[in-house]
């Protein structure tokens, strides 16, 4: 008689892993429904019982705050920037960087905008406040990551990679609002303007 080996159970999730899994399931729902999302909807999306949410989050407000923090977390886009091959042409590298950064900004804006529009204005305590310089540190790290993408072409550039990275991010992060979306430069156009300027070459009909 053939014996079957006992089925191995998957290792239990840690509290942090479970929180991360729930937040990942909740984010698309928060982007769609804002603060009106229910923990029942989140539980169904995560494939867990509703009670499991409250074993790792004190209440729905804490879950929504965790979603906000995750939407603003720059770690994901930093990994995307680090994965861009340095042997690609400079324009390709910067276009991919612009696409990744713009997608990050749009995700962040969608989640935070949905929460604000639905009235989520939780008062934060002093312990909830971000560490001093957190935003500045994230911006500095992003600028350094973009400068690293530019560095292989340093010899061909009129400015240092750090300065070009700063200009690039300034162009990318300056947006006038939804009304100007149709006139907004694509990542390819933005990079072309950065590297070649806005003036057409002499004799060009473009």
Q: For residues 99 and 110, give the distance between their C-alpha atoms in angstroms, rounded to a whole number.
A: 16
What's the pLDDT score for residue 159? 95
Q: For residues 99 and 56, give the distance between their C-alpha atoms in angstroms, rounded to a whole number.
A: 34
Which residue stretches of the chain have pLDDT < 50? 125-132, 179
DSSP state for residue 174 in the 8-state scheme: -
Alpha helices in 73-128 (DSSP H): 75-82, 90-117
Looking at the fold, whether 97 and 168 belong to one and the same domain comes out as yes
Looking at the fold, whether 89 and 173 belong to one and the same domain comes out as yes
Q: How many CB atoms lie within 10 A of CB 28?
A: 13
Looking at the fold, whether 65 and 98 belong to one and the same domain comes out as no
What's the pLDDT score for residue 129? 47
Looking at the fold, whether 53 and 155 belong to one and the same domain comes out as no
Looking at the fold, whether 113 and 152 belong to one and the same domain comes out as yes
What are the distances in angstroms from CA 156 to CA 24, 90, 94, 153, 187? 43, 11, 15, 6, 22
Looking at the fold, whether 49 and 112 belong to one and the same domain comes out as no
pTM check: above 0.75 = yes
How many domains, in total, are found in the chain?
2
Looking at the fold, whether 101 and 146 belong to one and the same domain comes out as yes
DSSP state for residue 13 in the 8-state scheme: P
What's the pLDDT score for residue 126? 40
Looking at the fold, whether 102 and 157 belong to one and the same domain comes out as yes
Looking at the fold, whether 88 and 51 belong to one and the same domain comes out as no
Radius of gyration of the chain (CA): 22
Contact 35, 63 (CB under 8 A): no
Say if 62 falls within a structural domain: yes
Q: Which residue has the tokens 């923990």?
A: 39
Residue-wise pLDDT for 21-36, tens only, equals 999 999 999 999 999 9
What's the pLDDT score for residue 120? 79
Looking at the fold, whether 107 and 167 belong to one and the same domain comes out as yes
Looking at the fold, whether 109 and 96 belong to one and the same domain comes out as yes
Q: Which domain holds residue 25?
A: 14-71
Q: How many CB atoms lie within 10 A of CB 187?
A: 18
């Amino acid at each position: 008689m053939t014996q079957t080996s006992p089925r191995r159970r998957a290792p239990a999730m840690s509290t942090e892993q479970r929180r991360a899994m729930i937040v990942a399931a909740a984010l698309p729902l928060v982007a769609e429904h804002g603060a009106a999302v229910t923990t029942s909807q989140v539980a169904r999306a995560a494939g867990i019982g509703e009670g499991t949410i409250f074993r790792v989050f004190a209440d729905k407000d804490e879950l929504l705050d965790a979603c906000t923090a995750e939407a603003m977390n720059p770690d994901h886009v930093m990994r995307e920037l680090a994965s861009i091959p340095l042997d690609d042409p400079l324009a390709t590298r910067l276009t991919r960087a612009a696409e990744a950064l713009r997608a990050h900004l749009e995700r962040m804006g969608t989640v935070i905008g949905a929460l604000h529009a639905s009235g989520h204005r939780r008062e934060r305590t002093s312990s909830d406040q971000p560490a001093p310089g957190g935003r500045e540190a994230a911006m500095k790290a992003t600028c350094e990551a973009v400068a690293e993408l530019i560095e292989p072409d340093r010899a061909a550039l009129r400015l240092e990679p750090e300065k070009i990275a700063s200009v690039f991010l300034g162009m990318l992060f300056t947006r006038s609002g939804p009304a100007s979306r149709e006139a907004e430069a694509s990542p390819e156009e933005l990079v072309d303007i950065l590297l070649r300027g806005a003036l057409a070459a002499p004799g060009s009909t473009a």
